[in-house]
Structure 1
Amino acid sequence: MIRLQVSLVVSIALASLGVARADDKTAPPPHRHEAPRPSAPIAPVEVKLDEALIAHLPQISAQGEAHGKKLSCEGVALHELLRASGAIPAEPLRGPQLARVVVVQARDGYRAAFSLGELDPSLGNRQVVLTRRCDGKALPADDGPWRLIAPGESRPARWVRQVESIRVIDAR
């Protein structure tokens, strides 16, 4: 009887502290974390190549090399265009925004992708430039009217000539 009373007192004390007995099958396992709840996908956003908007954005210079030819181009940072067009938030990227990707497509169907995280100045800070002018001249027809360049990459595989569309999509 005394053994039963001691067991009962210990069980009540442990229960009040939130500690479960080893034989209690209803108690959750200790130190178990809940999996994060998935958020709803963010709808794709088409970024218009609006000449008036682009003309009002800060112009930057970028140098790079493509196919053995050195280029010096002027244009706008892709990240700035995305913010100005409302495709991404003005505040620092967090959570679901970090699972978004920018897909740039050329007239011939060629595509290149950049994560928002690598473009964001507070994260990857990769310089990617949308340009209409290189080496002091308008782009030739086989490169333009818009060209995307990513200086600093080992190969120009994500440089896109004849840019036709820019979309921000959810990669989840």
Structure 2
Amino acid sequence: MRRTDARLLSLSLLLTVAFAAQAQHRHADAESKAAAAPTGPVEVKLDEALIARLPQVKAEGEAHGRKLSCEGVALVELLRASGAMPAAPLRGAQLARVAQVRARDGYRAAFSLGELDPSLGNRPVVLTRRCNGADLPAEDGPWRLIVPGESRPARWVRQVESIRVSGAD
């Protein structure tokens, strides 16, 4: 019986060490991904070739009495593809970062990365060039944000000319 107890104890210790090593490895991976995430300001280019390679999504809503049915890319996917937002779920300082969208006329709207992150807020925000089966008219385009589910379209930025991700400081 003692021999069996000793073997069980040895096996138990071996499993404990293995699980601890695996947990430490996962923690180190998470730290290295967090360290690789941008901390300073990042200008997101509205690169048509990059945007064309991203998955297309649909967004519908109403703005200023007009129903819109649009196709474009999820803002979160553009931010990730541009290196402005890590692909891994956000943690730590990344939760205080903000994407500021600026229009040609100076209008601005902001979205926290936490509200965009699929593992947290999962807010759908779509950057589009086409609504209702046609390219956007000049007064709305060339790019526009659609934010389905908001009570009013105040962050549906028209004439988008730049996106900048930075800390909330």
Q: What range is the shorter-chain TM-score in?
A: 0.7 to 0.9
- Which of the residues 117, 126, 133 maps onto 1:136? 133
Give the structure 2 partner of residue 151 of structure 1: 148
1:35-64: per-residue Cα shift (whole Å, max 9, x none)? xxxxxx921000000000000000000101
Corresponding residue for 1:63? 60
Match of 2:75 in 1: 78
Aligned-partner Cα distance in 2 for 1:65–1:152:
10
Task: Identify which of 109, 112, 137 aligns with 2:109.
Answer: 112
Is there any run of 5+ residues in structure 1 with no aligned partner, and where? 1-40
Which of 81, 95, 98 is the matching residue for 2:95?
98
Q: Which residue of 2 aligns with 1:19?
A: none
Normalising by structure 2, what TM-score? 0.77
The aligned counterpart of 1:38 is: none
RMSD across aligned positions (CA): 1.0
- Secondary structure of the corresponding residue to residue 158 of structure 1: coil
- Which has more radius of gyration? 1
Aligned to 1:166: 163
Question: Secondary structure at 1:157's aligned position in 2?
Answer: coil
SS at match of 2:154: helix
How far the C-alpha of 1:149 sits from its partner, in A, is: 1.1
Question: Aligned residues: percent identity?
Answer: 83
* Residue 20 (structure 1) aligns with: none
Q: State the alpha-carbon separation in 2 of the partners of residues 130 and 122 from structure 1.
A: 20
CA distance in 1, matches of 2:87, 2:119: 12
Say which SS state the counterpart of residue 70 (structure 2) adopts: strand
Partner deviation per Cα, 1:88-119 (whole Å, 9 max, x = no partner): 11111000000000000000000000000000
Question: Structure 1-normalised TM-score?
Answer: 0.75
Say if 2:48 is the partner of 1:51: yes
Alpha-carbon offset, residue 68 of structure 1: 1.2
The unaligned stretches of length 5 or more in structure 2 are 1-37
Deviations 1:124-154 (A, max 9, x none): 0000000000000000000000001111100
Tell me which amino acid in the other structure corresponds to 1:69: R
Counterpart Cα distance in 1 of 2:61 and 2:149: 7
More helix by share: 2
